[in-house]
Chain A
Amino acid sequence: GESVGLHLPTLSVQEGDNSIINCAYSNSASDYFIWYKQESGKGPQFIIDIRSNMDKRQGQRVTVLLNKTVKHLSLQIAATQPGDSAVYFCAEIQGAQKLVFGQGTRLTINP
């Protein structure tokens, strides 16, 4: 079946630097994507979303880019802080109410 996957399982960046987390998806019919942040011992927390009719969406220190041509999604976090250390998941809406999650990328912010 179709699934959402991630290019890199781990990513380390220096505090203050920008980070980019990537995600590939295979269902070209998907029209809504979400990025979640999961801190240790907690449930996933919504960060930002994007619909397929958009290429870019910005939030506070975060930007999501969508490239439908190559079915690629990325999450950019600006000026990373220690609190940004977490596992980040992209999720794809497949059908009504069904989120399909990728494997996740563990982001570590080094002091």
Chain B
Amino acid sequence: NAGVTQTPKFQVLKTGQSMTLQCAQDMNHNSMYWYRQDPGMGLRLIYYSASEGTTDKGEVPNGYNVSRLNKREFSLRLESAAPSQTSVYFCASSIPTSGVFQSSTDTQYFGPGTRLTVL
């Protein structure tokens, strides 16, 4: 299993450009997540998808849109990139169908990250 994969690994954009970050998981997980990590900080949740066909806002959703294309794939789109969106973006997936963590098997598995710079 490849686990959680993300593309691209690195990206440089100019202010106002758009792009889509791709994420896929092959663990048959129901839930998927997008986080951003700024220097010296923990991860902050942007959006998540509890199951195929549903998406919900996290802590910092402004400036982003998401699509849960199918059970495997969850994409993050920046319609008009801003320098404040310079960050490392992590995708994650987890099992639970109930939406509540019950045990360590419900924990989130993270991808390797996409480093995005907006000039």
Show the binding face of A for B, using Cβ within 8 Å: 4, 9, 32, 34, 41-46, 48-49, 89, 91, 93, 96-104
Contacts and interface: CB of A to CB of B under 8 A. Distances in A.
Contacts of B43: 44, 89, 99, 101
Nearest to B50: A97
A41 B42 CA distance: 14
Contacts of A89: 42-43
Interface in B93-119: 94, 96, 98-101, 103-104, 107-113
A46 B94 contact: no
A97 B99 contact: yes
Nearest to B92: A43
B7 to A, nearest CB: 14
Contacts of A99: 43, 45, 108
Interface in B53-106: 58-59, 90, 92, 94, 96, 98-101, 103-104
Nearest to A45: B110
Interface residues of B, number: 30
B interface, over-half SS = loop
B31 interface: yes
Interface of B: 4, 31, 33, 40-45, 48, 50, 58-59, 90, 92, 94, 96, 98-101, 103-104, 107-113
A interface, over-half SS = strand
Given A43-B4, A96-B50, A97-B50, 16 more contacts: A41-B112, A45-B110, A46-B104, A46-B107, A46-B109, A49-B103, A89-B43, A93-B101, A96-B98, A97-B31, A97-B48, A97-B99, A97-B101, A98-B59, A100-B42, A103-B42
